[in-house]
């Protein structure tokens, strides 16, 4: 086993997956599907499972459902992967409440998105994040995704938040590599790439790991990518990244990622259904065909072991 390269690696892992929430056609959460998906993620090298994030369809989950999901995933993982609970909302009181619920349900860490819709000032973002970080004893990974929230976390904001002892990492879905390198150099924050298309450049610039949607399908290839970069084998790393481009494109660009990732998992027999909750829709036939072609191009077999 390799030695951890950043202290946060022990808190969150390196090869994280933004897990979908398996559902039945009637919209209820599929408990067998959830168990099989967790087993699949563990079997393909995932060491951190994000529960109730964007790809988990968090806006459509009730508090009780989210708590049950965290508890079920933690029990199934049995310490073999860190369980990171998405608790961010645009209401600070709600977020702190969800953080406490997540801690009680067995989460190992929290994922905290920048407050959305209300577009607070940077001072408001700081106050929100500090309140949630103070609510539990769990380590916090900030989630910077301005395309969804309407508000970016400025570099100065990240530097200020890094002073809190429990704010330890950033899931970067902003894609500003220059800023990421600067913040990593000036703070103790670990960075995790939150854009599958940019996994290689983020890792090459010093990111600790990835939080991947495509990892629902190809966590084993992400693990190989991380190992290659850490070993200084950039030729292999580039080959892995290129091999995943058609799959990444089909999952992330054809339909919403939650829907396409579920469709791929259902096509592979990992989960029983590709059902999503409104306002999401299952991918149309042309997107399913594109996804099937991408799975074939990536040489994913029926057990989801990517052929070398």
- Active site members: 143, 171
Those residues with Cβ within 8 angstroms of residue 95's Cβ, 6 or more apart along the chain or in another chain:
87, 88, 89, 112, 128, 131, 132
- CA-to-CA distance for 199 and 221, rounded, in angstroms? 12
- b/e map of 190-227 (b: 16 or more CB within 10 Å)? bbbbbbbbbbbbbbebbbbbbbbbbbbbbbbbbbbbbb
Those residues with Cβ within 8 angstroms of residue 142's Cβ, 6 or more apart along the chain or in another chain:
112, 114, 129, 153, 158, 161, 167, 169, 170, 171
């067998």: which residue's tokens?
A: 32
- CA-to-CA distance for 46 and 80, rounded, in angstroms? 9
Q: What is the 3-state secondary structure (H, E, C) of 92-128?
A: HHHHHHHHHHHHHHCCCEEEEECCCCCCCCHHHHHHH
- CA-to-CA distance for 144 and 188, rounded, in angstroms? 17
Contact 84, 109 (CB under 8 A): yes
Other residues' Cβ atoms within 10 Å of the Cβ of residue 124: 14
């Amino acid at each position: 086993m390799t030695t951890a390269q950043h202290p946060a690696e022990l808190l969150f892992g390196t090869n994280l997956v933004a897990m979908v929430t398996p559902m039945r056609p009637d919209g209820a959460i599929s408990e067998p599907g959830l168990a099989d998906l967790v087993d699949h993620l563990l079997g393909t090298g995932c060491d951190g499972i994000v529960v109730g994030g964007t790809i988990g369809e968090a806006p459509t989950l009730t508090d009780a459902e989210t708590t049950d999901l965290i508890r079920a995933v933690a029990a199934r993982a049995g310490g073999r992967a860190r369980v990171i609970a998405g608790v961010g909302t645009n209401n600070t009181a709600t977020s702190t409440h969800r953080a406490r619920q997540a801690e009680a349900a067995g989460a190992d860490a929290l994922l905290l998105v920048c407050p959305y819709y209300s577009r607070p000032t940077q001072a408001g973002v700081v106050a929100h994040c500090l309140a949630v970080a103070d609510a539990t004893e769990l380590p916090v990974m900030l989630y910077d995704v301005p395309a969804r929230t309407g508000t970016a976390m400025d570099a100065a904001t990240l530097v200020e938040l890094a002073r809190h002892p429990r704010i330890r990492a950033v899931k970067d879905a902003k894609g500003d590599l220059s800023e990421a390198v600067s913040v990593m150099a000036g703070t103790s924050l670990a960075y995790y790439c939150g854009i599958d298309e940019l996994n290689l450049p983020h890792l090459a610039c010093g990111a600790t790991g990835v939080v991947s949607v495509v990892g629902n399908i190809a966590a084993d290839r992400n693990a190989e990518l991380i190992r290659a970069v850490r070993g200084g084998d950039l030729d292999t790393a580039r080959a892995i990244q290129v091999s995943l481009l058609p799959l990444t494109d089909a999952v992330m660009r054809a339909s919403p990622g939650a829907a396409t990732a579920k469709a791929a998992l259902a096509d592979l027999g990992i989960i029983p259904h590709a059902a999503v909750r409104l306002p999401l829709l299952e991918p149309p036939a042309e997107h399913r065909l594109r996804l099937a072609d991408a799975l074939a191009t990536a040489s994913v077999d029926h057990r989801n072991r990517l052929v070398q």
